Amino acid sequence: MSDAITDQRTFLVRGDDDVSRCGWVGTDPEYRRYHDEEWGRPLRDDERLFEKVCLEGFQAGLSWITILRRRPVFRDVFHGFDVARVAEMTPDDVERLLGDARIIRHRGKIEATISNARVTRDLGESLGDLIWSFAPETPRARPVRSFADVPAITEQSTALSRELRRRGYKFVGPTTMYALMQSAGLVDDHLVGCHLAPDE
Protein backbone atom coordinates (compact mmCIF):
# COMPACT_ATOMS: atom_id res chain seq x y z
CA MET A 1 0.00 0.00 0.00
CA SER A 2 1.29 3.43 -0.84
CA ASP A 3 1.69 6.02 1.88
CA ALA A 4 -1.55 7.81 2.68
CA ILE A 5 -1.81 11.43 1.64
CA THR A 6 -3.19 13.72 4.34
CA ASP A 7 -5.17 16.82 3.47
CA GLN A 8 -4.00 19.30 6.12
CA ARG A 9 -7.12 21.43 5.67
CA THR A 10 -9.58 18.76 6.72
CA PHE A 11 -7.35 16.06 8.19
CA LEU A 12 -8.61 13.53 5.69
CA VAL A 13 -6.50 10.66 4.46
CA ARG A 14 -6.46 9.48 0.85
CA GLY A 15 -5.13 6.00 0.24
CA ASP A 16 -3.94 4.18 -2.84
CA ASP A 17 -7.56 3.69 -3.91
CA ASP A 18 -7.82 7.51 -4.24
CA VAL A 19 -10.72 7.60 -1.75
CA SER A 20 -10.81 10.24 1.00
CA ARG A 21 -11.53 9.05 4.51
CA CYS A 22 -11.45 10.43 8.04
CA GLY A 23 -7.82 10.85 9.02
CA TRP A 24 -7.94 8.44 11.98
CA VAL A 25 -8.06 5.57 9.48
CA GLY A 26 -4.40 6.10 8.54
CA THR A 27 -3.05 3.29 6.38
CA ASP A 28 -4.24 0.29 8.40
CA PRO A 29 -6.35 -2.03 6.21
CA GLU A 30 -8.56 -3.17 9.09
CA TYR A 31 -9.22 0.41 10.16
CA ARG A 32 -10.12 1.22 6.55
CA ARG A 33 -12.57 -1.70 6.40
CA TYR A 34 -14.07 -0.78 9.78
CA HIS A 35 -14.46 2.87 8.76
CA ASP A 36 -16.04 2.01 5.40
CA GLU A 37 -18.31 -0.85 6.49
CA GLU A 38 -19.20 -0.30 10.14
CA TRP A 39 -18.34 2.99 11.83
CA GLY A 40 -21.26 5.39 11.88
CA ARG A 41 -23.76 3.01 10.30
CA PRO A 42 -27.00 2.77 12.30
CA LEU A 43 -27.01 -0.39 14.39
CA ARG A 44 -30.07 -1.49 16.35
CA ASP A 45 -29.50 -5.21 16.87
CA ASP A 46 -29.49 -5.96 20.61
CA GLU A 47 -26.73 -8.56 20.50
CA ARG A 48 -24.39 -6.46 18.39
CA LEU A 49 -25.05 -3.43 20.57
CA PHE A 50 -24.29 -5.51 23.66
CA GLU A 51 -21.01 -6.45 22.00
CA LYS A 52 -20.25 -2.77 21.35
CA VAL A 53 -21.00 -1.83 24.96
CA CYS A 54 -18.58 -4.52 26.13
CA LEU A 55 -15.80 -3.80 23.63
CA GLU A 56 -16.01 -0.05 24.18
CA GLY A 57 -15.53 -0.83 27.87
CA PHE A 58 -12.47 -2.95 27.10
CA GLN A 59 -11.13 -0.12 24.94
CA ALA A 60 -11.04 2.37 27.84
CA GLY A 61 -7.42 3.51 28.15
CA LEU A 62 -6.36 1.73 24.95
CA SER A 63 -6.52 2.41 21.21
CA TRP A 64 -9.55 1.11 19.32
CA ILE A 65 -7.36 -0.72 16.80
CA THR A 66 -6.06 -2.87 19.68
CA ILE A 67 -9.63 -4.00 20.39
CA LEU A 68 -10.61 -4.28 16.74
CA ARG A 69 -7.72 -6.63 15.95
CA ARG A 70 -8.69 -8.82 18.90
CA ARG A 71 -12.43 -8.72 18.27
CA PRO A 72 -12.57 -12.21 16.72
CA VAL A 73 -10.96 -13.63 19.87
CA PHE A 74 -13.28 -11.64 22.13
CA ARG A 75 -16.20 -13.07 20.16
CA ASP A 76 -14.80 -16.55 20.62
CA VAL A 77 -14.21 -16.38 24.38
CA PHE A 78 -17.50 -14.56 25.06
CA HIS A 79 -19.68 -16.93 23.01
CA GLY A 80 -20.30 -14.48 20.18
CA PHE A 81 -21.60 -12.03 22.83
CA ASP A 82 -24.74 -14.11 23.17
CA VAL A 83 -26.27 -12.40 26.20
CA ALA A 84 -27.77 -15.53 27.75
CA ARG A 85 -24.54 -17.50 27.48
CA VAL A 86 -22.31 -14.71 28.77
CA ALA A 87 -24.69 -14.17 31.69
CA GLU A 88 -24.10 -17.78 32.75
CA MET A 89 -20.32 -17.45 32.88
CA THR A 90 -18.78 -18.16 36.27
CA PRO A 91 -15.83 -17.04 38.43
CA ASP A 92 -13.94 -20.00 36.97
CA ASP A 93 -14.47 -18.51 33.52
CA VAL A 94 -13.09 -15.21 34.77
CA GLU A 95 -9.94 -16.91 36.03
CA ARG A 96 -9.57 -18.80 32.75
CA LEU A 97 -9.87 -15.58 30.74
CA LEU A 98 -7.34 -13.83 32.95
CA GLY A 99 -4.84 -16.39 31.68
CA ASP A 100 -5.72 -15.89 28.01
CA ALA A 101 -3.07 -13.63 26.49
CA ARG A 102 -5.13 -13.15 23.32
CA ILE A 103 -7.53 -10.73 25.02
CA ILE A 104 -7.19 -7.75 27.35
CA ARG A 105 -6.62 -9.41 30.72
CA HIS A 106 -8.31 -6.91 32.99
CA ARG A 107 -10.35 -8.51 35.78
CA GLY A 108 -12.71 -5.56 36.16
CA LYS A 109 -13.52 -5.45 32.45
CA ILE A 110 -14.02 -9.21 32.19
CA GLU A 111 -16.29 -9.24 35.23
CA ALA A 112 -18.14 -6.19 33.90
CA THR A 113 -18.86 -8.01 30.62
CA ILE A 114 -20.49 -10.87 32.51
CA SER A 115 -22.34 -8.52 34.85
CA ASN A 116 -23.53 -6.39 31.92
CA ALA A 117 -24.87 -9.53 30.25
CA ARG A 118 -26.94 -10.28 33.33
CA VAL A 119 -28.28 -6.74 33.41
CA THR A 120 -29.13 -6.96 29.69
CA ARG A 121 -30.81 -10.35 30.15
CA ASP A 122 -33.02 -8.93 32.90
CA LEU A 123 -33.56 -5.50 31.33
CA GLY A 124 -37.19 -6.07 30.44
CA GLU A 125 -36.84 -4.11 27.22
CA SER A 126 -34.73 -3.97 24.09
CA LEU A 127 -31.18 -2.74 24.71
CA GLY A 128 -31.30 -1.17 21.25
CA ASP A 129 -34.47 0.76 22.06
CA LEU A 130 -32.94 1.96 25.32
CA ILE A 131 -29.70 3.14 23.71
CA TRP A 132 -31.42 4.75 20.72
CA SER A 133 -33.77 6.67 22.99
CA PHE A 134 -30.70 8.85 23.72
CA ALA A 135 -29.93 9.67 20.09
CA PRO A 136 -29.82 13.44 19.46
CA GLU A 137 -33.10 14.77 18.10
CA THR A 138 -31.31 17.01 15.63
CA PRO A 139 -27.91 16.33 14.04
CA ARG A 140 -24.95 18.48 14.98
CA ALA A 141 -23.10 20.27 12.19
CA ARG A 142 -20.66 17.90 10.54
CA PRO A 143 -17.06 18.35 11.78
CA VAL A 144 -15.11 20.34 9.20
CA ARG A 145 -11.45 20.62 10.11
CA SER A 146 -10.47 17.64 12.26
CA PHE A 147 -11.52 15.43 15.09
CA ALA A 148 -10.58 18.30 17.37
CA ASP A 149 -14.03 19.60 16.33
CA VAL A 150 -15.68 16.49 17.76
CA PRO A 151 -16.61 16.48 21.45
CA ALA A 152 -15.43 13.72 23.75
CA ILE A 153 -18.77 13.74 25.56
CA THR A 154 -22.17 15.26 24.92
CA GLU A 155 -25.32 15.90 26.89
CA GLN A 156 -26.81 12.76 25.35
CA SER A 157 -23.83 10.51 26.06
CA THR A 158 -23.77 11.75 29.64
CA ALA A 159 -27.47 10.99 30.03
CA LEU A 160 -27.06 7.56 28.43
CA SER A 161 -24.15 6.78 30.72
CA ARG A 162 -26.12 7.87 33.77
CA GLU A 163 -29.12 5.72 32.81
CA LEU A 164 -27.05 2.63 32.03
CA ARG A 165 -25.19 2.94 35.32
CA ARG A 166 -28.52 3.35 37.11
CA ARG A 167 -29.59 0.07 35.53
CA GLY A 168 -26.40 -1.62 36.77
CA TYR A 169 -24.07 -1.45 33.75
CA LYS A 170 -20.35 -0.97 34.33
CA PHE A 171 -17.58 0.65 32.24
CA VAL A 172 -20.14 2.86 30.52
CA GLY A 173 -18.80 6.36 31.23
CA PRO A 174 -19.87 9.37 29.12
CA THR A 175 -16.76 9.27 26.89
CA THR A 176 -17.15 5.54 26.32
CA MET A 177 -20.81 6.01 25.50
CA TYR A 178 -20.07 8.79 23.03
CA ALA A 179 -17.68 6.43 21.24
CA LEU A 180 -20.52 3.90 21.16
CA MET A 181 -22.89 6.51 19.76
CA GLN A 182 -20.39 7.28 17.00
CA SER A 183 -19.72 3.67 16.09
CA ALA A 184 -23.40 2.61 16.22
CA GLY A 185 -24.57 5.54 14.10
CA LEU A 186 -26.52 7.50 16.69
CA VAL A 187 -24.35 10.41 15.58
CA ASP A 188 -22.52 10.93 12.28
CA ASP A 189 -19.00 12.26 12.81
CA HIS A 190 -17.50 11.57 9.38
CA LEU A 191 -15.52 14.67 8.49
CA VAL A 192 -16.52 16.95 5.64
CA GLY A 193 -14.83 15.53 2.54
CA CYS A 194 -14.90 11.90 3.68
CA HIS A 195 -16.47 9.71 1.02
CA LEU A 196 -19.08 8.63 3.60
CA ALA A 197 -20.09 12.21 4.42
CA PRO A 198 -22.87 13.22 2.05
CA ASP A 199 -22.58 16.64 0.43
CA GLU A 200 -24.54 19.16 2.40
| 183 vs 12: CA distance, rounded Å | 18
Annotation marks residue 56 as catalytic = yes
Query: Residue 57: which of 35, 25, 39, 81 has the closest Cα?
Result: 81
Annotation marks residue 88 as catalytic = no
Annotation marks residue 178 as catalytic = no
| 115 vs 109: CA distance, rounded Å | 10
Q: Which of 34, 38, 47, 111 is catalytic?
A: 34
Q: Which of 24, 38, 47, 64 is catalytic?
A: 64
**DSSP 8-state secondary structure symbol assigned to residue 173:** -
Alpha-carbon Rg for the chain in angstroms: 18
Q: Which of 39, 56, 169, 178 is catalytic?
A: 56
How far from 66 is each of 71, 72, 73, CA to CA, in Å? 9, 12, 12
What are phi and psi for residue 61, nearest 5 degrees?
A: 85, 0
| 157 vs 134: CA distance, rounded Å | 7
Task: Write out the catalytic residue numbers.
Answer: 34, 56, 64
